[in-house]
Structure 1
Amino acid sequence: MNGVFENKKVIVIGGSSGIGLATAQTLANSNARVTITGRDAEKLKAIQQTSNIQTQVVDSSDRTALDAFFKQTGSFDHLVITVSGSKGMGNFAELSLADLRAGFEGKFWPQLNTLQAALPYLNNSGSVTLITAISSVAQKPGTSGLAAINGALELMVPVLAQELKPLRINAVSPGVVDTPWWNFAPEAAKQQAFQQLTGNIPAGRVARAEEIADAIVFTLGNSYMTGTVIHCDGGFSC
């Protein structure tokens, strides 16, 4: 894909860490003009000072802020929405439905708000990539809430591809990835979870954020791909 992203304007929403930041760095290395958003002003400032990535503080749950950000940004080529939350996990019998609602508020609604606010400014020859999660199809105990959140987003992708054409829209569905998403758990508990999950992953390990970023960048650069959900999960959903 040499030259595909040369001077292309790309926005990565929720790009201050993990998969979003890895994607932004990959695109910037391909000479794209990248802007990332997040809520942590200090983290964003540090990224801008040490890279050629532009940053902007935006809360993706705030539609007014999103509208103002995209109006200020103007037309652009590609949008990656990595916004997520950590709520909604657990066996259904004990699952707090308030937590599940918070999970939708942390991921489902911010992703849709972002997409809708961005549409007037996206170039028709460009693309949108949503980041979901393999819980949508993995059918693992304790993930019914996460399956609902991510499955709802994925079900919309092929419909949106029809509605928004020629703008392309896809999703990348990662498996278990070692990112700050896991920071809700103590380090020992996180490593224990990784060890347990590795036994169910044919690839034999959890993923790195850069590996998921490669799949995301592929959806942006392949001009014939739309309406598709890519599973990048090391075989976890097999």
Structure 2
Amino acid sequence: MSLSGRRSLVMGGSSGIGEAVARLFAERDAEVVITGRDPVRLDAAAGRIGGKVTARRVDGCSSEEVSDFFAEDVRYDHLVLALSGGSGAGPFATLDLDGLRDGFERKVWPYLRILQAALPRMTEGGSVTLLTASSARAALPGTAGLAAINGALEAMVPPLAAELAPLRVNAVSPGVIDTPWWSGLPEERRAAMFAEYAAALPVGRVGRPEDVAEAVLLVATNGFMTGEVVPVNGGLGLRTGH
């Protein structure tokens, strides 16, 4: 499918899933704008992506920067929100609630702030895709805080789709994906954790950013999909009989 003549905006497109989404849209000949907070990382990502890509520094946590960005008279056919969240993981009994608040400040509020500011700039019948996480529905110990963050966003998808129609609103909910989000862990620990997850998943591996990007392209371009939360998690939670 060619996206020639379409403009896509990927907020949080300087690495990981956001970069993979931007690359896939660019490969479909779309005009792509990626945003992030670090201009060096943005320029590097734009170079890796290639195609008709423009990098813009925008801090999604800043109301002023978001407002200034969308004050520009530019219209978008597709908006993808792929900002990385902050903290929020850990056993609930000892969970740092200030850290959890920071997680909301870095993901939930920026998503809502950006979407609200973007509405006047979206084309009729365009699409919005939120990147959430499978922690919203997976009953895994130590993820109650992450479930609160991503569950809040996923719960909003159906009512937003109904209210904002004909703009289509969907979410893609990744499982464990090998991205720089995990870079805070030592390499040995990260490899062991990925191996453990891979052994437990029916597909036998953890996800790649490209797996998620393909799902984002699907919901963004399928004009008969709205109000959906699409899991891309390798079969997390399935009983395999092993």
In structure 2, the gaps of 5 or more residues are none
Q: Structure 1 CA distance, aligned partners of 2:73 and 2:85?
A: 25
What residue in structure 2 maps to residue 124 of structure 1? 124
What residue in structure 1 maps to residue 220 of structure 2? 220
Give the stretch that moved more between structures: 157-166 or 68-77.
68-77
Q: Equivalent residue of 1:235, what SS?
A: coil
Post-superposition offset of 1:49: 4.0
Deviations 1:160-201 (A, max 9, x none): 001100000000000000001112222222112212222321
What residue in structure 2 maps to residue 192 of structure 1? 192
> What percent of counterpart residues are identical?
48
Q: Equivalent residue of 1:196, what SS?
A: helix
Tell me the amino acid that sits aligned with residue 38 of structure 1. G
Tell me the amino acid that sits aligned with residue 41 of structure 1. P
Deviations 1:38-60 (A, max 9, x none): 01111112233452311000000
28, 31, 39: which one aligns with 1:30: 28
22, 46, 49: which one aligns with 1:48: 46
Tell me the amino acid that sits aligned with residue 199 of structure 2. G
What residue in structure 2 maps to residue 6 of structure 1? 4
In structure 1, the gaps of 5 or more residues are none
Q: Structure 2 CA distance, aligned partners of 1:101 and 1:195?
A: 31
Tell me the amino acid that sits aligned with residue 61 of structure 1. C
What residue in structure 1 maps to residue 179 of structure 2? 179
Normalised by the length of structure 2, the TM-score is 0.94
Kept in 1, the 8 Å contact 2:19–2:45? The answer is no
Q: Structure 2 CA distance, aligned partners of 1:225 and 1:68?
A: 31
What residue in structure 1 maps to residue 103 of structure 2? 103
Deviations 1:110-167 (A, max 9, x none): 1111111101110111000000000001111111000010000000000000110000
Tell me the amino acid that sits aligned with residue 72 of structure 1. E
Tell me the amino acid that sits aligned with residue 61 of structure 2. S
> How big is the alpha-carbon RMSD for the aligned residues of Structure 1 and Structure 2?
1.2
Q: Equivalent residue of 1:138, what SS?
A: coil
Task: Report how many residues are paired.
Answer: 236
Q: Structure 2 CA distance, aligned partners of 1:84 and 1:47?
A: 16
Deviations 1:26-80 (A, max 9, x none): 0001010000000111111223345231100000001111111122251111100
Deviations 1:86-110 (A, max 9, x none): 4101110111111111111111111
Q: Structure 2 CA distance, aligned partners of 1:25 and 1:73?
A: 24
